[in-house]
């Protein structure tokens, strides 16, 4: 098995002294099932015959999981049982010698505590370094504690994959963010836990989080005081889709599940200030636009998004709320058509909105296809026509100028659909922010929306909101 850096992500090192009721073999199976990416057999005071027996069996187990099996210290044994590699300390066989014995295809790791040791190991052909102890540890009495700063110096200076070891636990593991390591090696954080498999699953998630970057998304829309649509739905959707959500508010609405009782637009100047504040600092990777009820506000948005060269713009051409309330002025509709749609990557009209945008009646699925093409030809943006409420199914049609795709949804018998359109467009924008293609973004967004509708939340006296957080 050839070495690659991903193997170091969650590196499990055995220590049967922690053994409770389970045998070493069973414990290793637990960590492999939990998602460990490398296994090192390190049993300091086990007699040779028993070590050999354990090593042979555990090697076979690791093969089943396609996880490298590394022997601690004993190069000759690694050779004899055809392990995937060996890990040597500073007092063990030198790395050059180990390489000579094992050949180029085996994995060799070296423990390094200083930059000098790290450099030598690299010269001698080590594949990776184990660097520690990072924190105080009970698994090695004589280990000097390096700390985070010295770890960073090592990763900055020596160009070799590194796994951090020593005292790393579920609680302190996130302190290793941005230290340049390729993963963590642990003993007691896995083998010292009551439920070893669950501890491995939990720690794996935690260490994976060290490598996740947070994507960012902006919603420019109206506030819905009842929390099910508008800005509130957008931010909840972004959170549930693990994207950092930001907002520029176009209007406040006094609204609940039965209707909209009042609307107050912000001034164009204040909308501009909000958009500037966001873009000048945390540049959003995608932008969703929802309710914008006046001509001047639409102008402001178009001007600002062009100025900042905004990416991945999703426009939900909101005209009428599910409750029937009108959310845009007639003169603004023409500005929306003339200025806003052409800067969008995709727009997401429902059927009544599609009719307004195309001046045609949309009564059938064929009409949806014809209207989508017409929208593309007129405004040069991809379009997702939502079947939603009107056609009594949950099928939406995406047309991008080259091809049309039906996204078939499973219609859920739930009249609580306040904010479905806001939620779908925000989920699409979140997925675009993460780097998915438009088609993938729509597919994932529909799946998220179905989950939120399917959670069957039932609040309010009208068409109620969905459970945006059903998946968290
Ligand atoms: N009962 C349902 N079950 C499953 N999916 C649904 C249901 N109702 C709507 N959808 C889906 O929700 C999405 C939004 O479509 P819809 O036509 O409801 O948007 P909208 O009218 O803009 O919503 P809003 O009320 O937020 O303005 C579409 O993907 C649609 O297929
Ligand atoms: C603020 C706001 N935006 C959009 C919609 C669309 O449903 C709504 N009801 N309220
Ligand atoms: Mg809508």
pLDDT tens digit string along 25-73? 999 999 999 999 999 999 888 888 999 999 999 999 999 999 999 999 9
Question: 253: Cβ below 6 Å to ligand 2?
Answer: yes
Which residue's CA is the nearest one to ligand 1's atom 30? Answer: 388
CB of 423 within 6 A of ligand 2: the answer is: no
- Tell me the sheet residues that pair with 172: none
Pairing relationship of beta strands 404-407 and 396-399 according to DSSP bridges: antiparallel
Residue 72 marked as a ligand binder: yes
Nearest ligand for residue 222 CA: 2
Q: Which residue intervals of 144-216 are DSSP H helices?
A: 147-157, 188-191, 196-209
Characterise 43 by phi-psi region: left (phi > 0), alpha (psi -120 to 50), beta (else): beta
The strand pair at 215-224 and 183-186 is best described as unpaired
259 pairs with which residues across the strands? 256
Please tell me the distance between residue 109's alpha carbon and the centre of ligand 3 in angstroms: 57
Q: Measured between alpha carbons, how far is 240 from 188 in angstroms, rounded to an integer? A: 33
d(CA 290, CA 284): 16
Helix then strand then coil, % of the chain, to nearest 5: 40, 20, 40
Residue 330: which pLDDT band, with cuts at 50, 70 and 90?
Answer: confident
Q: How far is the CA of 430 from the centre of ligand 2 (A)?
A: 18
Q: How confident is the model at residue 388 (pLDDT cuts 50, 70, 90)?
A: confident
Helices and strands: H and E segment counts in the chain:
16, 17
CA-nearest residue, atom 5 of ligand 1: 394
Helices 24-34 and 48-65 pack at an angle, to 10 degrees, of 20
For atom 7 of ligand 2, the residue with the nearest CA is 321
The catalytically annotated residue of 227, 245, 419, 464 is: 419
Please tell me whether residue 163 adopts helix, strand or coil conformation: strand
| % pLDDT > 70, the chain | 98
DSSP class per residue in 356-389:
HHHTS---SHHHHHHHHHHHHHHH-SEEEEE-TT
| Ligand number, closest to the Cα atom of 447 | 1
Catalytic status, residue 364: no
The answer to the question of whether 42 is labelled as a binding residue is yes
Q: Whose CA is nearest to atom 4 of ligand 1?
A: 411
Of 420, 422, 447, 460, the residue with max ligand 1 atoms within 8 A of its CB, to mutate for a pocket test, comes to 420
Evaluate: CB of 224 within 6 angstroms of ligand 2: yes
Catalytic residue among 85, 192, 421, 464: 421
Q: Residue holding tokens 């993938």?
A: 440
Residue 292 Cβ contacting ligand 2 at under 6 Å: no
pLDDT band at 329 (very low <50, low <70, confident <90, very high): confident
Q: Exactly one of 38, 217, 381, 422 is catalytic; name it.
A: 422
Residue of minimum CA distance from atom 9 in ligand 1: 388
pLDDT value, residue 55: 96
Secondary structure (3-state) at 299: helix
Q: Residue 393: pLDDT band by 50, 70, 90 thresholds?
A: confident
Task: Name all residues whose Cβ lies below 6 A of ligand 1.
Answer: 229, 322, 350, 386-389, 394, 396, 409, 411-412, 414, 417, 419-422, 424, 446, 449-450, 453
Determine what percent of the chain is predicted with pLDDT higher than 90. Answer: 88
pLDDT band at 389 (very low <50, low <70, confident <90, very high): low
Active site residue 409: no
β-sheet bridge partners, residue 326: 320
Active site residue 130: no
Per-residue pLDDT averaged across 424-436, rounded? 98
Average pLDDT over the chain reads: 94
Q: What is the pLDDT of residue 326?
A: 78
Q: First-to-last CA distance in the chain? A: 37
pLDDT band at 19 (very low <50, low <70, confident <90, very high): low
Tell me: pLDDT of 83 over 80.
yes
Look up the pTM and report it.
0.77
What distance in angstroms lies between residue 405's CA and the mean position of ligand 2's atoms? Answer: 27
Please indicate whether residue 89 is annotated as part of the active site: no
| pLDDT at residue 371 tops 80 | yes
- Give me the pLDDT at residue 162, please: 98
ipTM above 0.85, yes or no: yes
Work out the burial of residue 364: count CB atoms within 10 Å of its CB; fewer than 13 is exposed, 13-18 middle, 19 or more buried.
exposed
For the question of residue 420 being annotated catalytic, the response is: yes
């Amino acid at each position: 098995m050839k070495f690659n850096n991903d193997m170091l992500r969650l590196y499990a090192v055995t220590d049967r002294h922690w053994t409770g009721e389970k045998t070493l073999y069973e414990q290793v199976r637990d960590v492999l099932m939990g998602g460990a990416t490398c296994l090192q057999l390190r049993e300091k005071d086990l007699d040779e015959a028993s070590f050999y027996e354990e090593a042979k069996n555990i090697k076979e187990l690791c093969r089943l999981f396609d996880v490298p099996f590394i022997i601690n210290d004993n190069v000759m044994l690694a050779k004899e049982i055809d392990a995937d590699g060996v890990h040597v300390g500073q007092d063990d066989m030198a790395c050059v010698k180990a390489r000579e014995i094992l050949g180029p295809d085996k994995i060799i790791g070296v423990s390094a505590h200083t930059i000098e040791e790290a450099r030598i190991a690299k010269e001698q052909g080590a594949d990776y370094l184990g660097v520690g102890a990072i924190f105080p540890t009970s698994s090695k009495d004589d280990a000097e504690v390096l700390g985070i700063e010295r770890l960073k110096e090592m990763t900055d200076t020596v160009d070799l994959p590194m796994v951090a070891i020593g005292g790393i636990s579920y609680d302190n593991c996130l302190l290793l963010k941005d230290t340049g390591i390729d993963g963590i090696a642990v003993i007691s954080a896995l083998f010292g836990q009551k439920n070893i498999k669950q501890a491995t699953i939990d720690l794996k998630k935690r260490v994976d989080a060290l490598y996740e970057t947070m994507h960012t998304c902006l919603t420019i829309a109206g506030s819905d005081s009842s929390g099910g649509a508008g800005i509130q739905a957008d931010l909840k959707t972004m959170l549930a889709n693990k994207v950092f959500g930001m907002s520029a508010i176009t209007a406040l609405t006094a609204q609940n599940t039965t209707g909209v009782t009042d609307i107050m637009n912000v001034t164009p100047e204040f909308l501009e200030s909000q958009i500037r504040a966001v873009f000048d600092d945390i540049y959003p990777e995608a932008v969703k636009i929802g309710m914008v009820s006046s001509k001047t506000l639409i102008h402001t948005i178009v001007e600002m998004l062009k100025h900042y060269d905004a990416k991945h713009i999703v426009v939900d051409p909101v005209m009428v709320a599910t409750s029937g309330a009108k959310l845009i002025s007639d003169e603004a509709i023409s500005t929306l058509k003339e200025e806003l749609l052409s800067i969008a990557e995709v727009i997401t009209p429902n059927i009544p909105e599609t009719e307004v945008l195309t001046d045609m009646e949309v009564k059938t699925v064929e009409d949806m296809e014809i209207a989508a093409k017409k929208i593309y030809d007129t405004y040069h943006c991809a379009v997702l026509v939502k079947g939603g409420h009107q056609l009594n199914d949950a099928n939406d049609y995406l047309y991008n100028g080259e091809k049309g795709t039906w996204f078939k949804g499973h219609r859920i018998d739930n009249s609580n659909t306040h904010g479905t359109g806001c939620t779908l467009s925000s989920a699409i924008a979140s997925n675009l922010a993460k780097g998915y293609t438009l088609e993938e973004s729509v597919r994932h967004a529909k799946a998220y929306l179905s989950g939120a509708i399917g959670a069957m939340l039932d609040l309010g006296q009208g068409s109620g909101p969905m459970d945006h957080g059903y998946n968290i």
